[in-house]
A and B are shown apart, each in its own frame.
Chain A
Amino acid sequence: MIKFLWLILLILQPFAAHANDSFRIAVAANFRSTLEIILEQYLAAQPDVSIAFSSGSSGSLYQQILHGAPYQLFLSADSRYPKQLQAQGLLQANFRATYAMGELVLWAPLAPLHQAKQISSNITLAVANPKTAPYGRAAAEVIAALALQPLKIIQGHSIAQVHQFVASGNADAGFIARSQVLHTGQVITIDKNLYNPIQQQMALLTPDNSAAKDFYRYLLTPAAQQIIRQQGYQLLESQAQEALLGTHKP
């Protein structure tokens, strides 16, 4: 029996957040590949640190955090969920910061489109759910601003699903993130004045974990920001100030 208990402890051991040099990140699916690149560089310089991460939609990660999931750092795809965590007292104001500015693009690999406003009644258009996905919200704003009237608007539950709808040919065009189509053609740039900025914010949930805190700060350094921009994100408007002041208007 004792042996059996030891076995269970041994199996569970990697999951315990015992040391201060290991932590877990909950990352929005759209930022996952960028995070992997950053982690590769970061961990090469910090061999003692161990970082695990889980990716998913910001909404479901938020739900998990709300119910006590063991994440120390949350990289959301927008500012809504970090703000909500702060409002619920699960996050201190000075540990919330914008780490990336998302860019919305229109991807139409096969349709004869050169501009978003050419979308007409022969196009099946895919967007992420405007109520939950930040890029979906931005897409809805563009659709309204240009008064686009496609044949049909399909909702994916994330921009990853929108990408799949378009890649499989079931949708002619889709609004997704620049970071998803860095190496693909037929990407149409969208005027940034047509949608409210997509502020991807992060939340440091356990400031007493020094490794997590170091990495939170690292993401705002020029070195990390350069990688983030190379992966299809925009320059931060006011990176760390907002985190320090905590006075960003919604």
Chain B
Amino acid sequence: MELTNHDWQALWLTIKLATTTTAILIMVCLPLAWKLAGWQSPVKILVETITTLPLILPPTVIGYYLLLVFSPHYFIGHWYSVLFNQQLAFSFEGILIASLIYSLPFALKPLQAAFEQQGAALSESAALLGFSPWQTIIHILLPNIRPALLGAATLTFAHTVGEFGVILMIGGNISGETQVASIALFDHVENLEYGAANSLALILLLFSCTVVLLSQWLSRKQGRTITNTPPC
């Protein structure tokens, strides 16, 4: 292993970014997915289009527009720098916003599918049995979509770890703040430091294998529990 302090810092930063992104996205996407699943409105297709977009947009497009949005010349970037006395581009907050956009579909889609599959009947029966809306959510809805929830979280986490193009465009390669593992790896290769590049690449490869394995195992295990226990 030829990892420098910067590399460990980059790995730690990657985990921090992925964890924060996953936590925020799951919290935002749970109510959003629930709303979208039961929603009958012509606006729905518009919302679905926008939330699916990051899935197919080239990361460079996202990065390019974000850099413009973050610019102190324009409204959002200006407003942010006045309010927080720092700029969004080249900061952890900046790459966090980018990750939230970039990984949004990976959190939203599985949850929405799970809510859609479950249908309205379950929560209606719960209401008939005298459950309050909160009790329905905690005791009925959430346990029922647990496999999807775990799947969404794993995917979001892994996809954020794999982020490269967006961060390359808006990060500014600052060690400890925006230099994530994939960028550090790119840097090593460009700098002909193949030893360190090998180590980082191997770590990322092993990590990705573990995540995929884990999510497969979880979905099988969860699949069994769901089929074995009758709902409610």
- Chain A positions within 8 Å of B, measured between CB atoms, are 57, 59-60, 63, 84, 124, 126, 129, 131-132, 152-157, 161, 164-165, 168-171
What total count of A-B pairs have CB within 8 Å?
Answer: 59
A171 to B71, CA, bound (A): 9
Q: Is B95 an interface residue (CB 8 A)?
A: no
Residue interface mask B60-97, A partner, CB < 8 A = 1: 00000001101111100100000000010110000000
Known A129-B187, A152-B90: A168·B172 in contact at CB below 8 Å = no
Q: Which range contains the number of B residues in contact with the other chain?
A: 20 to 34
Q: Show 20 residue pairs from A and B whose CB-CB distance is below 8 angstroms, ordered by the A residue.
A: A124-B87, A126-B172, A132-B190, A152-B90, A152-B174, A154-B172, A154-B174, A155-B172, A155-B174, A156-B172, A156-B173, A157-B173, A161-B169, A164-B67, A165-B172, A168-B68, A169-B77, A170-B70, A170-B72, A170-B89
Q: Is B127 an interface residue (CB 8 A)?
A: no
Q: Are B191 and A131 in touch, CB under 8 angstroms?
A: yes
B198 → chain A closest CB, angstroms: 14
- Given A84-B192, A124-B90, A152-B90, list of 11 further CB < 8 A pairs? A59-B191, A131-B190, A155-B174, A156-B173, A157-B190, A165-B89, A168-B67, A169-B72, A169-B73, A170-B77, A171-B90
Q: Are A170 and B189 in touch, CB under 8 angstroms?
A: no
- Chain B positions within 8 Å of A, measured between CB atoms, are 67-68, 70-74, 77, 87, 89-90, 168-169, 172-174, 186-187, 189-192
Name the A residues within 8 Å of B168 (CB-CB). 157
A85 → chain B closest CB, angstroms: 12
Q: Are A132 and B70 in touch, CB under 8 angstroms?
A: no
B119 → chain A closest CB, angstroms: 47
Q: Are A170 and B87 in touch, CB under 8 angstroms?
A: yes
A160 → chain B closest CB, angstroms: 12
A158 → chain B closest CB, angstroms: 10
Q: Are A63 and B174 in touch, CB under 8 angstroms?
A: no
Name the B residues within 8 Å of A124 (CB-CB). 87, 90
Q: Are B190 and A60 in touch, CB under 8 angstroms?
A: yes
B97 → chain A closest CB, angstroms: 14
In the complex, residue of chain A having the shortest beta-carbon distance to the beta carbon of B188: A131
A172 → chain B closest CB, angstroms: 9
Name the B residues within 8 Å of A157 (CB-CB). 168, 173, 186, 190
B153 → chain A closest CB, angstroms: 31
Name the A residues within 8 Å of B174 (CB-CB). 152-155
